[in-house]
Chain A
Amino acid sequence: MAIVKNDSVIENDWVALDDEALVPESGANVLVSLARFKAERDALIARNGGLGVLLVPGDAPEDLADDIDRFSLIAVKFPSYTDGRGYSYGRVLREHYGYQGELRAVGDVLRDQILNMHRCGFDAYELADEADVALEKVRAALREMTVYYQPTGDGRVTAGSLRERRRAALELGGS
């Protein structure tokens, strides 16, 4: 198991709490379910230490909208790589609510889905592999394609806007 973010393998310094576990008093970073966040919101945001939420398919990312700046981690679970709801959650969080913290894909995260995740706003990937293998997979996935048709919040320039720039340059050159 390894987490890859920003072209390196990072330590997981988050404690994943199940819904019955006691919240540590210390300033540890805690990751809770959406249900627990909704039930214990006030206590959770009052404590020191980072606050993270785990979204599973079926959860509504809208429920985080009012507190979006309080989270430094949102983990999105892909229970199976064929369940694509997490891609929409990523875009909703980044593009509708302007979420700036870490967006981590967890669960069945495989090489061939990583580029799509990245395009939907994910910046961290938890893979089942050893650290060096995981890093190599993420690197390979992110450089496989260089042409993009869809504008998403990832900032990649689309073929459409490159064409427009080219046309504008031609018109300038011609005048």
Chain B
Amino acid sequence: MYRYDDFDRQLVAERTTQFRDQVARRLSGELTEDQFKPLRLMNGVYLQLHAYMLRIAVPYGTMNGNQMRMLGHIARTYDKGYGHFTTRQNIQFNWPKLNEIPDALEDLATVEMHAIQTSGNCIRNTTTDQYAGAAADEIEDPRPYCELIRQWSTFHPEFTYLPRKFKIAVTGSPNDRAAVRVHDIGLRMHKNDAGETGFEVIVGGGLGRTPFVGKTVRDFIGKNDLFSYLEAILRVYNRFGRRDNKYKARIKILVHEVGVEEISRLVEEEWAKIKDGSLRVSDDEIAQYIAQFAPPAFEELRDNDPEFERRKQAHPDFAAWVRSNVIAHKQPGYAIANISLKPIGGIPGDATAEQMELVGDLADQYSFGDVRVTHEQNLVLPHVKKAELFALWAELKNAGLATANLGFVTDIIACPGLDYCALATARSIPLSQRISERFGDLDRQYDIGELKIKISGCINACGHHHVGHIGILGLDKRGKEFYQITLGGDASQDASIGKIAGAGFSEAEVVDAIEALITRYIDIRNVGERFIDTYRRVGMDPFKEVLYGDR
């Protein structure tokens, strides 16, 4: 894992002081709320329905045990004892007081954490595969490049007042778990014909009101050239992105309006001027960062542990959890353990202070102090010995953290919705809870198989409904919440935007509608087909029929 050096620490310390001063100037009235707003946003402080909200950065979703425990401390000290992990691999706290936020940031700085660029029209936290450095299918660990992107984008003087926010995601695996095709820039590692590893550069993907799957502006950029290439894209966007309408200001609209060929031409023209400049990163420097993310000191183990097999035989609950939540590791004898933050009937992504502290401890005990946040709002211990999975599971189970539903119908992404958010038009959390309860029975979930339900409480699509196999969008119709269903979305390497099934459903009807869709899928699926596969084979009509009949 990357450890801060004195430069990184000093930068965060200076930022903490700077923000304390900005808050003081706001509280004294020297800054108006209008002038303060972009400053607080640049530091993750939103004004929500009931209170300020503080979003803390978890760069590329990676933390150590101390950092996780610190989040527990923040929840207990400055909030109401819990926090909410987000689709951006960050965490947000919903109840801090403005005058206490500088203290919270000072506490965070002691463990090298901060809220830098977790909002505002700047380059946001870079996200990546939650299994980076552990996944068996990985071409190369993306984290060294994520860390270099973190540094390049932190307080970038030219790109702090962009037309709109800007999100970069990186995958080092052909199985895209970082949804790179629906980001402003998606970087997909692959090898060129010469056998060198580099990046496909995908630009202009995004969700929101106008969803797009991103387009490739360059099939291959070498590692040394990545940062000058990113800078060229950002300069083109900063200069030419629309600023007349905030809903048309993302780079996806620019790409859509002028065409990917023209964007590509502008970027290449700009890049030609800067590619041999000081943003070119040497092999030596890259090697330094790769070394920072060197694998932990794995033991040489046989892949199969007899004790692990016996435990599975003896404990069906444990076996179920292993089957759904444990994933193959590249190191023999180790496994990746997913911690579901989707208990049946619970709030997706929420964790209590005690749970965070426990996960920090478990990371230290079982996973070389490494813990990850996923964009699907779960946690991961990436490096667990198979022989220790049972002990880990038992501790998780005691803390309500062993729900065996990863990737199943109750593993729902939901935005905070109208319970918290000032932009929302409908509630998301209670609906996700009701769906979770309806399908709570694990055997039923396993029968249904992989099914990604994603719920957004407004058209800004923070709950990623466009890329849900079943997407649900909450809207307001004459003062009443109603929910529009989309089908066929996918955030993976086969990315696609879901299609609207038809008229929306009332709050009372929508869970039945979801159940009708799932029942139809079970009736018509072929052996081995996931919901999304069946949908792709048969199309919308059979599903529309159960939703609307002859309507």
Residue numbers of A with Cβ under 8 A of B are 57, 81-85, 87-88, 90-92, 95-96, 110, 112-113, 115-120, 144-152, 159-160, 162-164, 167
Contact = CB atoms under 8 A, between A and B. Distances in A.
A147 B238 contact: no
Given A81-B38, A160-B285, A164-B285, A146 B10 contact: yes
A120 B157 contact: yes
B154 interface: yes
Given A82-B161, A83-B161, A88-B239, A147 B152 contact: no
A152 B239 contact: no
B22 A112 contact: yes
A82 B34 CA distance: 11
Contacts of B15: 145
A145 to B, nearest CB: 5
A115 B35 contact: no
A85 B157 contact: no
Interface string B14-38: 1101100010000000000001001
Given A83-B243, A112-B22, A112-B39, A149 B154 contact: yes
A120 B243 CA distance: 21
A146 B11 CA distance: 7
Contacts of B279: 151
B121 interface: yes
A150 B159 CA distance: 11
Contact of A87 (B5, B154, B158, B277): B158
A88 B238 CA distance: 7
Contacts of B238: 84-85, 87-88
The 6 A-B pairs at the shortest CB distance, nearest first, are namely: A84-B161, A119-B157, A151-B278, A159-B7, A116-B157, A147-B11
Contacts of A162: 7
B155 interface: yes
Contacts of B159: 84, 87
A146 B161 contact: no
> Interface residues of A: mostly helix, strand, loop or mixed?
helix
B323 interface: no
6 contacts: A83-B243, A85-B243, A87-B159, A147-B11, A150-B157, A152-B158
A96 B273 contact: yes
B265 to A, nearest CB: 15
Contact of B5 (A92, A152, A163, A164): A163
Interface in B244-299: 273-274, 277-279, 285, 288
Contacts of A115: 157
Nearest to B236: A88
A140 B142 CA distance: 38
A145 B11 contact: yes
A150 B11 CA distance: 13
Contacts of B39: 112
Contacts of A167: 288
Contacts of B8: 147, 159
A6 to B, nearest CB: 19
Given A88-B239, A159-B151, A163-B7, A145 B158 contact: no
B118 interface: no
Given A83-B161, A87-B238, A164-B285, A149 B155 contact: yes
